[in-house]
Amino acid sequence: RVSRASGSACIATLRAARGNQHGSRAGLTAVASKGLPARRYRTAMSTFVVATDSVHTSAAICDYLFDRVAEDDTVHAINSLRDDNDAPEAIQDGQDALNAVASRLAAVTTVETEQLPGGTAPVEDIRSFSEEIGADEILLGVHSSTDTATDSVGTVAEKLLLDAERPIVVVPRPR
């Protein structure tokens, strides 16, 4: 399902086939007004996993989440170092991305951050971390596109979407 956020940005929200077929989870109701995005009113706390590798991705995800998280929700921001890239600049970029999430969302909800060491593929890190904490939703950013539509979301997002067991939100970077 694709829903309009603000302006021309589109947020693609893909719900797992095993989940609610209407794109909502227990305790969540979507209310939309003409021309406005749906507002969600929840009766239970939610746990979000934010998978990020840059401050730009973090900023876009925080913009998306800011009005959606509640005080009793928890956001787990993770950065998975790639197997072949544990260079100091990759480590620093990941830490900066995590700090961006913490600094932008800590005033509205609980934020925990973790940089995961290389050794496993980022998609596996995201899956296993999400399962371990019982995440309600996974959020990640779009990466640079290529000539095919499948590659336009990035390989990590594509692999997560193919085997989704929970809702996944792919947030575009601002232009």
**Which pair of tokens denotes residue 75?**
């956001």
Q: What percent of the chain has pLDDT over 90?
A: 50
Q: How far apart are CA 173 and CA 36, in angstroms?
A: 21
| DSSP code of residue 151 | G
Q: Helical H runs in the chain?
A: 55-65, 88-105, 122-133, 155-162
pLDDT class for 117, splitting at 50, 70, 90?
Answer: confident
Selected residue with higher pLDDT from 38 and 89 = 89
Nearest to 82 by CA among 137, 143, 13, 168: 143
Which residue, 40, 41, 37, 38, is CA-closest to 9? 37
Say what the pTM is.
0.72
Q: 51-99 pLDDT, tens per residue?
A: 999 999 999 999 999 999 999 999 999 999 876 666 888 899 999 999 9
Question: In angstroms, rounded to a whole number, what is the distance separating the alpha carbons of residues 163 and 127?
Answer: 10
The better pLDDT of the pair 38, 17 is held by 38
Q: How far apart are CA 169 and CA 164, in angstroms?
A: 11
pLDDT (average), residues 91-119: 95
